[in-house]
Every structure is written in C-alpha cells, then in structure tokens.
Amino acid sequence: MAQPALTQPGTDTVTPRIDSPWQIFWRRLWRRKPAIIGLALLALMITLSMAAPVFTSFDPEKIDLNQKFAPPLSQTASGQVMLFGGDSLGRDVFTRAIYGGQVSLKVGILAAGLGLLIGVGIGSVAGYYGGWIDNILMRLVDIFLSMPTVLLLITVVAIYGPLVPKGGEVYLIVVVVGLLGWPGPARLVRGEFLALKERDFVQAARSLGSRDPRIIFRHILPNVIGPIIVSATLAISGAILTEATLSYLGLGIQPPMPSWGNMILDGQAYLRNAWWVTTFPGLMACATTLALYSLGDGLREALDPRLKRQ
Amino acid sequence: MKRRTLSSVAGSLLVATVLTACSSGSTPAPSAPAPSTPAASETPVQGGTYTVASTIDATFLNPILNQDAVSNDLNALIYDSLLQLNDKQEWIPWLAEALPTIEEGGLKWTFKLRQDAKWQDGQELTSADVKFTFGAILHPGYTGVRASGLTAIKGVTDLRNGFKETDGKGTDKEAALKEKAAAWEAWQQTDAIETPDKYTVIFRFDKPFAPAMSNIAGRGIIPQHLLKDQVGVAMKDAAFNRSPVGSGRFQFGEWKTNERIVLKANPNWWGGRPNIDEYVFRIFPDTNTAMAALEKGEIDRAAVQVDQFDHFQNDVQLVNLYEYATTQYRNIAFDLKNPLFADKNVRTALATALDKENLVAKLLQGHGITAWSHGTPTRWDFNPDVKKYAYDPEAAKKALDAAGWTVGPDGVRVKDGQKFSFDLYFVTGNKLEAEAAQVVQAAWKEVGVEANLKGTDQPTLLDLSDAGNPARKQPPAYLLGWTLGSEPDSYAIWACDGSFNDISYCHPTVDELENKGRTELDQAKRTEIYGQIQAKLAEDQPYLWLWFPNAIQGIHKRVKGPIAGTPVGIEWNIQEWWIQPDKK
Amino acid sequence: MWRYLIRRLVQAVPVLLGITVISFLIINSAPGDPALLYMDRSSNPTQEDIDRVRHELGLDKPLPLRYLDWLGRAVRGDFGQSFADKRPVITKIAEAAPYSLKLALLSILLGYTMAVLLGVLAAVRANTWVDHLISSLSALFVSAPIFWVALMAILLISVKWKLLPTSGWSTYGDGSLLDVAKHLILPTIILALRDIAGLSRYVRSGLLETLNADFVRTARAKGLGSKVVIYKHALRNALIPVVTVIGLSLPALVGGAVVTEKVFALPGMGRLAVDAVAGRDYPTIIAINLLLSVLVVFGNILADLMYSWVDPRIKFS
C-alpha cells in the first residue's frame, strides 16, 4: 500500500528543499495534466450546478409545449436561448442538465461521504485494535464485499422508493449507496493502520501516555488522508454512476426533478429524432466521472512516494 | 401502454402492453397512411414465422382466468368463442353456426354449434364444453373476474347470494366450500344452461340482459375433457394454463418465461389452416429494444410510439405503418372519498385549469383526440354533445376560491388547515402518460394545487387502486385508462356497487341508467340511455378525461394480406395473412 | 493445499450465513404483507383467506423462526414458490442461470485476455501515444455508464450499420451456434468493457513496476532478450495483483450483467432479478441474492488458489 510522504513526524525522509509538503504535493500533481484537466472540469461542473440560477434564466421544471424538441440554440418567444435545446415537454435541456448536476453531485458526494465515514471508522478500529475486533469487522467486510450490491440496491430502492416523501429519493439513494459503499475504504484504512501502528512515532506517542482516540485521530489518520482522498474521488464517481443506473432501471430520482440519470433515460426514446435530449446530460455525467477518475489517478500518483523518480 | 380493459362487461382488469394494444380498435383513422395493398399477382403462400413484440409476458393462457390484455390477445388466437366480432364490430357466427335465436322476450337464447369444430388434441368440441366453461366461471372456487358478468343467467343471482350466506355463517372453510359446491351442483342440474344435444346450447335468464352477447358469446370456450378435474380453486394452478389446448386458429407450441411464446398454425381448424406457420410472441425488456428490432426487421409487428411515428414513416423502408382509432381512453381518476375531491366544483375547477386541447395536440401530435367523457367515438352509443370544461385558469382559480380553498403563503391553496396537496400516481413505463402527468402537475400548480408525482409500475398501481383489495391504499388521484369493448354496459365502473368502481362514484341517476341499459335489448333505446350516462359523467367529472389514443402498428413489409386496423384490433383476420418468402 | 482449501470453505460459511441474514432482514423489513403479494388479488380475499395464506407461508411465526425455516429449506435447494407465477423459484433460476453463466464466462475470458494484452502493450510502449490512447479509452469506459454505451452500440452497430442483431439470445427457429454467437458479440463486449478498462491498468502498472525491479534488471544484464524478459519473468509477476483483483471484480460483473441483460433482452439471472424486484417477488429476490453471493465467495477462493499458481513463492498456510 502507498506510504504517504505527508506530515510524517519522525520519518527519516530527507527533503532536499525546504518546501512544505503541500507545495511538493501541488508540484507533483501539477505535472499530471489529466488530473489538472479533471480538476478544472470538476470545478466547472460544481460551479455550474451549485450556482445554476446564475447561468440560466429558465425554470428547470417549467413546461412549455411550444418548445417541444426545440433544437439546440433555438430561441423562445421571449427571446431566451435554449443552449442545449428543449426536451419532450419543451423544458430547457441546459437548465435541467445543470440543475440535474446538483442532484447527481449531491448524491455522489453525500453517498461517498457516508460510505467513507463508516469505512474509515470501522477500518481504523479494526486496524488499530486488531485481534478479535479486527476479525469480526473483517468478516463483516467480507460479507458486504461478496454481496451483489446492485441487486440489493435495486431491491431496497424499489421497496422503499414509493414510500419516501416528495424529493426524499435523493436521500434514500444516498443512504443505501453509502451503507453499501463502506467496505472498500474500511479495508484500505485498516491496511494503513496495521502498517502505521507499529511505527516509531506511534509507539512514541503511546509511551508518552496518549490515549487511543488521540493516537488514532492525531497521529495515524492524518497519514492516511492521501489514500482516503483518492478513494473518495472514485467513490463519488461510482455513486454518480449508481444513481444513473438506478434511474435507468426506473428506480432513481423521479421526474419532474432532473438528475443526469433520469434525463438520459428520458431522452433515450428520442435518440433518433432529438438526440440532444439524452446526449448532453450523458456527456455531462461522463465528463464528471471521467474528471473524478483522472483526478483520483493523479492524486494517487502524486501521493505515492515510490513513483518519485518518474 | 398498460391498461385496464373493459373488454366486456365482466370488465377484466386488463393490461395491454404498449406493443400489443390490439385487443380493440376502431374504424381506420382518416390519417392512416395507405398500406401497400398486395398486388393482384401476389397470392398467399403457406409457411413462415411471424414475430410480434411485447414488453410484457402473458399470465394465463386460459380465457376464463386471464385479466391482462397480452394473454387476451393470445387467447383469441388459441381459443374460439361462440361468436366473433368482425371489423365493423358486428357479431358474426364462429363456433356457433348462426347468431342465437332469442325467445321469450330475451329470456331464452339458443346457440347452434358448428359440427366440425375440434380441440387441438383431436377431441370433438361439443355443447358440453360450452356448458362446462360457464359452469367453471360460476363455481364457488373460481378465482377469476368473469363471474359478475353472468349474474343475469337464471338462478345465478340466487346462487351467489347463497354463497354469501354460507360465508356469513362463519362455519369453517372446508365445510363452507363443500356447502357452496353442493349448491353449485344443484344449480348445474337446473335448466339455466341446457344442452339438449351435442350441438345445441340454451341459456336462460332471470331478466333480459343485453351484455350477455359479449359476456357469453364472446368468451373463449375451454375443453371439459382436460379441465374437468380442476374446476374451482385448483384451476389457477393447472399446468394447462401454461400449455393450453384450444380450438382456435393457432395451437400452443412453447412458452419460455420472459423470452417468447410460440404458437403454431392449427392444421385442423374448422375455418381452414392459417397461412402463417408460426406465430412468435417475443418479450422485450423495454420499448427501445423492441423499436430497434422492428427497425432492423427482426420482428414483424410492434406498436410504434407517437414520437417515433415520423421516423418510421420517413426513414424506415422495411415497415408499413397502420394507424387506427382505438376503444381506449386515458383519464385522471379522483378518489371521491378523499375530502379533496368530494366537491364537484373542485373537480370541474381542476378540469378547467388544464389546457387539454393543447396537451393532446402537442403530446399526441395528431395521433389521438381530446376526450370529455366515458365512452369511445368508435362505438354506436358515443355521445359527442357532452359538457366540455374548456381551459380557463382564471375561472378555475375563482371556483377554487369559492369552494373555500384560498391561496396560502407558499402558493398552495388551504382550506380548514388542510393543504391542497396530494399524490398523483402514474405508470412509469409509458412515456406519453409520464409526460402528461407532468403537464397536468404544472397546470395545477398554476392555480395553487400541488400534485406530487408518484411513478409506479402497472401492477403496483392496479393493486393500490383495486376495489377488491382489502389492504389497498387508495391513491388520491391516478392517471390510467380503460380499453372498452363492443358492449357499452359500464355498470362495473360507474354503478355504486360496480366491481371496478375504485373511486367510489355513486350517483342515483347513473345507477338507474346503468341498470336500465343492461336490460334493454333495443339498440336505439340503449344509445339514448348510454348517451345520458356519458352526459351526466362529463358534467360530474369523477374522472378528468384526457384523450382517445390512436393505435399505431408497424408491420414488416414482408407480411402480406388484407391487413387493416379495425375496431377489433389488427390481427382479427390474421388467418388470411401470409409471409412473403425471401427471394433467395 | 487441501487443508487450506478446506479452511477457506469453512470460513466461507459464516460469510454466507451473514449474507442470508442481511438479505432476509432487508426483505422482511419491507412494508406490506407478503401474503397479499402472494395471493391473487382479484379473488377478493377475505381476512380469513389472508390468515390462511399467512399460515401456509409461515408468516405467522416470529422472524428468527422464519429465517431458520427458510434456511433449512434453502440448503436443500428449496427456495419456495415465486410470488409472480407460483412456479418453484429454483426452476426459474435453473432456466435463467445457463444464459448468464455463458455470458459471464465469455466476457471474463474476453475481458481478461484483452486486459492483459492491452496492459502489456501499454507498459511496453509506456508514455507513447499507444499508452496514452489505451489509458484514455480505459478511463472513458471505466467512467461511462454501461447502459449508455450499450444503447449507443445497438443504435450504431445493429440498427444503423445492420452488422449484428439488436437483442435476444438467438433468432427463433435458428439457434445455431453461429446465430447465438452473433447475438452474443455485443453483450459480451459491453460486459467485458469494465474489466478490460479496469484490469489493463493494473497489468500496466504491475508490469512497469516489475520491469524496474532488480531481478528483471538482472535477467537483462544476463543478456536475455527483452521479449523473454517481459513474457517469462516480468509478466508472471505482474499478473499476481491482477489475479487478486479478479475475485473482487466478480460482484461488479454481476451488477453489469443486470444492466446488460436488460438492455439486450437476454433471459438470464439479471433479467430475472430485475423482474423479481419490479414484481416484489421476494422468494426469487432472496434466492438470487444468495446464489450470486455463493458464486462470488467461491470465485474469491478460486482467485486465491490461482494466486498461488502464478506466484510459487506463496505457500498456503
């Protein structure tokens, strides 16, 4: 596993210059162009989505049957330009795509966050304490890693989806994806803990009388941040894909609320006569997951001391 | 298009898929593109495989048990009924060699069977099979939905009341079942359904009953010799339902769940062997896959979505399009027991809040027309002069104000502390309906009414709304529809105790008219009666009627013959079609 | 080795039990009465009918007892009757499983072969345009929604260019090997894409790492040709991490199969699962869940055994 070079007090790594670890990290990341492009793309997507009202004057749920399947760049009666055209109900595809990004990114970030939170917690405890605690927790990890998660996911969402109040599907998906997404990070963090807890600086802290929580949070966790960030980027893109898949199976976010997944599903039937309805949200979803993926890749390399020479 | 069908008065909860909405139809629409009529030189040839696309599997290949339109269409090929509807929705002789002789003021109907009808296993089809079929439907253990359409048969009302009494006594299940079975045996011995000889069946009635024609003469006949030991509860588990033997044009070949059902031409059919060798019913997971297969020529028939019409019309060379009006309509149903919708003025306000004409024009793009009441323009009883609540959002707002619903701080109307906010259910599988639900939601939002869309699958929605389901959670409002049959009787939907009256509509005038319509045998008088029902319903708006859809069928050009979309669908004369062999 | 295998199998038991407990809990926490789902609604059941069915299905017993009942029957291969069509669940699974197994095996075969080939190519041509192309494509296919790629493929390859059938397992009335093969080309590729994209990266980085390792340098120094070095020495070592990933990629394969079978209208387990979920067919859902988990667990054991085969240094302990 990666041995992070960050903030490791007591290690004997000699740094030739007196750059701060962050500077080193940035320099290394900057050299990886795909990661930088990914970062920029991601920033763009987040800005577009979170500040959606700034970028569009349309209401994402406003139906205008006169603009049904209006091609990209066409103008409405009031002179508004439909950048990505109109969908089957004459709603502005661009507007829906950026508002849909809000939903998809929210699902992605919250679900990945929940999964990481649980995973890091369980992984830390298992790795730090070892013994029977580790044994039990790792069996639990085995169980979750062996389950066909897609099947469980569609089962739970199909059963509970119709019962949640309006708009609640977002959180249902977040919770379910999060609850099924923790074993990967848990295993990762446990591995790091197993390696780090025997290291001198941990032993030193312990002999100075630091209590377990302090050692876990102050001394070991900061050293695991790197791999956690990397797996977070992958978890977010995974959760975005999961939402899209659920929507494709008709189980995800319900209309009229837009999400990339339900927009792709919605436009799929009109691929032959109105390609823009499904293509643009599809491209935005792809771009976002691709951006996250490249960023995660770059981060991993930037954080991996073994790749220094390259 | 998953839908309930009232194909006959017994009103099966029928569910037609988008791809096989051919269980009913109408006169060819004027806009129908001219199909390539076969050139004179083309003569029918035997052979070939004809493949139909569906998105839903069949349930019961047994015409007394199925409730879905998919099985209905297949059963129409496997089984024969006493009479058959022709393309003009007139009854023509089928298993019966002539229309029934009606005597004693409508109380005695005599059918003479043709003498050359055989079951597909070689046994002769006789009057005993006919009696057996209707006896099985009226058996106390029968699990299907056809029995309520036969209550006018002599002694049946008494018999069924007797069943209820037995149930009410609270004896244990076994004993009650025995007692009911004994009562049924006794009724079987009466002259209610008589078979004086092998080819004669006489039905006697307690009172004249117009819907008998479709409920009796239009029902598929099942073989006594194969099912006589499975009458009652056991029938629904019979292996027969998945490997049926009928007497119809096609016989059963194989059924692979969720993959395909294969039927083969019946060489011994009394009307002569169909030209097509094999009828393959292929099940697709969604319409997109099916449309791709149709476009590529892998299948021979599929229903084409409105939005695909132009593409298939202009760009796809392999396929002919047939468009025709159907006997269906789409509507939003209101739960009248829900305090939100109990007030008629509120319902009419919701109707005027919706620009229905524009919705139909834009969503259906000419492939259907606006609906204002129950009924179908394709049937003789249709009343075009009903009250039409035209689009007028200002009037809608005023009416809601007057009804006590005032606009609250968040724009949603409030009355006595209750918000005008409810769940509007719709079937997600159908794009047109999902879109319509969103348009309706937006229109109501404009007048301060909040509808939360709840997409669900068809079975769930039917279960939720099914009046016969004790655990149902009645949706406050839902977008669904009906496929009507050739018989205008709509007692099951609109009478106070109608078995499909899921919304609890109850109006004494309509109730009386429904009863009158059933016992009247004169068509002119019935037109009058059902016209009045339609007018009253349009005024009352227990449903918000939306549109009458056209069916659009794409058929591969290699399929030849007198193909025409009609009131009874498009495959009504499939025995005359043929497949042009590949020129190799 | 046998002792190791037996120990792994014994260890798998609690994992599988855990999976059944979790799926049983999820299904049984579902609102609504399973008895009502089982019954024919149109027969207007009375409360008495409902109670009778509840008793027949054992729903009147407490949850732990129901679980034990279910487990007892499940180990004998009896998963009960499907709510949807009342046929035995095991029959339905037996009908669907062969399709999925064939598709999965084909795509594993294709996926892993291509992954190794592309991975080696990328490593050997590291930092050239070939490497960049392979990396970009694999990044694209790892991150693109699989159903989206499948739909595009159908539209272009089948409908537009008419090269392959759009969907289904075989043409009715044909069913020859060639016909089935034509039908399976697209689904196999689509299902294999994720593996190709994901694994080729592992192969590449693993190979790059070993190429820099001391023993490879030694081999080179001894004058062995670079091809021999790559294929004989380095590749073998580079494959070790790949084998461990194979086990972990099985659940994703199952997930991909659900979507792929739906898009291509294949009558396999994925389709059965989606239909079962849509129809609230609980006995079928829970049985599929268990069987797929069993598959994954044994897949993992198999992967570990293979691990030792590619790396003789690893001893079973």
Residue type, B222: I
Sign of the C-alpha dihedral computed for residues A231, A232, A233 and A234 taken in this order: positive
Strand partners, A81: A75
Residue type, B205: F
Burial class (CB in 10 A: 0-12, 13-18, 19+), C32: middle
| B519: closest CA of chain A, how far (Å) | 44
Please name which of B255, A308, B386 lies closest in space to residue C92, comparing C-alpha atoms: B255
Contact (Cβ atoms closer than 8 angstroms) between residue B143 and residue B235: yes
- Sorted by sequence, the CB contacts under 8 Å of residue C265 that are 6+ apart come out as B283, B284, B285, B289, C167, C168, C271
What does the block give as tokens for A17?
A: 């210059």
Please name which of B127, B256, B141, B258 lies closest in space to residue B198, comparing C-alpha atoms: B127
Contact (Cβ atoms closer than 8 angstroms) between residue B7 and residue B71: no
The per-residue pLDDT string of chain B (584 residues; one tens digit each, 9 = 90 and over) reads 334 444 333 333 333 323 333 333 333 333 344 444 444 447 899 989 999 999 888 889 999 988 777 898 999 999 999 999 988 888 999 999 999 999 998 899 999 999 999 999 999 999 999 999 999 999 998 877 788 788 899 999 999 999 888 887 777 777 888 899 999 999 999 999 999 999 999 999 999 988 888 889 999 999 999 999 999 888 988 899 999 999 999 999 999 877 899 999 999 999 999 999 999 999 887 788 888 889 889 999 999 988 889 889 988 889 999 999 998 999 999 999 899 999 999 999 999 999 999 999 999 988 999 999 999 999 999 999 999 999 999 999 999 999 999 999 999 999 998 999 998 998 877 788 989 999 999 999 999 999 988 877 666 676 666 555 554 567 899 999 888 888 899 988 999 988 778 888 999 999 999 999 998 989 999 999 999 999 999 999 999 999 999 999 999 999 999 999 987 889 999 999 999 987 64
Residue with tokens 């009627």: B545
- Sorted by sequence, the CB contacts under 8 Å of residue A88 that are 6+ apart come out as A68, A69, A266, A267, A270, A274, A277, B307, B431, B435
CA distance A65 to B361: 9
Nearest CA in chain C to A237: C143
Q: Does C42 touch chain B (CB under 8 A)?
A: yes
Contact (Cβ atoms closer than 8 angstroms) between residue C162 and residue C173: no
| A291: closest CA of chain B, how far (Å) | 30
User: ∠ CA(C277), CA(C282), CA(C283), 5° rounding?
Assistant: 125
Q: Is the pLDDT of residue C271 over 90?
A: no
Burial class (CB in 10 A: 0-12, 13-18, 19+), B105: exposed
Distances (CA, A) of B186 to B167, B177, B192: 18, 14, 11
Residue type, C116: V
Q: In degrees rounded to 5, what are phi and psi of residue A70?
A: -65, 130
Burial class (CB in 10 A: 0-12, 13-18, 19+), A74: middle
Whether B453 and A68 lie within 8 Å, measured CB to CB? no
Whether A159 and C280 lie within 8 Å, measured CB to CB? yes
Chain B residues whose C-beta is within 8 A of a chain C C-beta are: 13, 49, 51, 59, 67, 143-145, 167, 173, 236-237, 256-260, 262, 278, 280, 282-286, 288-289, 292-293, 295-296, 298, 457, 459-460, 463, 466, 468-471
Question: Interhelix angle for C146-153 vs C177-211, to 10°?
Answer: 130
**Partner residue opposite A147 with nearest CB, options C14, C147, C293:** C293
> What does the pLDDT average to over A214-237?
86
Q: Are strands B543-556 and B368-370 parallel, antiparallel or unpaired?
A: antiparallel
Q: Which DSSP symbol is given to C125?
A: T
Q: What is the pLDDT of residues A19-51, one digit of tens each?
A: 777 788 888 888 888 889 999 999 999 999 999
Q: What is the pLDDT of residues A77-123, one digit of tens each?
A: 888 889 899 998 999 999 999 999 999 999 999 999 999 999 999 99
* Per-residue confidence band for A2, with pLDDT thresholds at 50, 70 and 90: very low
Q: What is the pLDDT of residues A134-152, one digit of tens each?
A: 989 988 888 888 887 888 8
CA distance B118 to C51: 44
pLDDT of residue B228: 93
Whether B262 and C274 lie within 8 Å, measured CB to CB? no
| A205: closest CA of chain C, how far (Å) | 34
pLDDT of residue B557: 94
Distances (CA, A) of B494 to A232, B505, B530, B541: 58, 6, 12, 12
Whether B358 and A62 lie within 8 Å, measured CB to CB? no
Asked if the interface predicted TM-score (ipTM) of this complex is over 0.90, the answer is no
Q: Which DSSP symbol is given to B307?
A: G
Kindly report whether the peptide bond that precedes residue A256 is cis, defined as omega within 30 degrees of 0: yes
Q: Are strands B301-303 and B543-556 parallel, antiparallel or unpaired?
A: antiparallel
Q: Residue C226 CB: number of other CB atoms within 10 A?
A: 13
**Highest mean predicted confidence (pLDDT) among A1-5, A164-168, C229-233, C311-315:** A164-168
pLDDT of residue B13: 32
pLDDT of residue A10: 47
Strands (DSSP E) found in chain A:
74-75, 81-82
**Highest mean predicted confidence (pLDDT) among A165-169, B206-210, C150-154:** B206-210
Q: Does C140 touch chain A (CB under 8 A)?
A: yes
Q: Which long-range contacts (CB under 8 A, 24 or more apart) does B459-465 make?
A: B459/C279, B460/A162, B460/C280, B461/B425, B461/B426, B461/B427, B462/B4, B462/B13, B462/B15, B463/C41, B464/B425, B465/B333, B465/B425, B465/B502
> Buried b / exposed e across C285-309, counting CB within 10 Å, b at 16+?
bbbbbbbbbebbbbbbbebbebbbe
Nearest CA in chain B to A165: B452
Cα dihedral value B245, B250, B255, B259, nearest 10: -160
Please name which of B436, C132, C285, B542 lies closest in space to residue A154, comparing C-alpha atoms: C285
pLDDT of residue B34: 44
Contact (Cβ atoms closer than 8 angstroms) between residue C165 and residue C172: no
Q: Does B359 touch chain A (CB under 8 A)?
A: yes
Which residues of chain B lie closer than 8 angstroms to C272, CB-CB?
A: 258
pLDDT of residue B18: 31
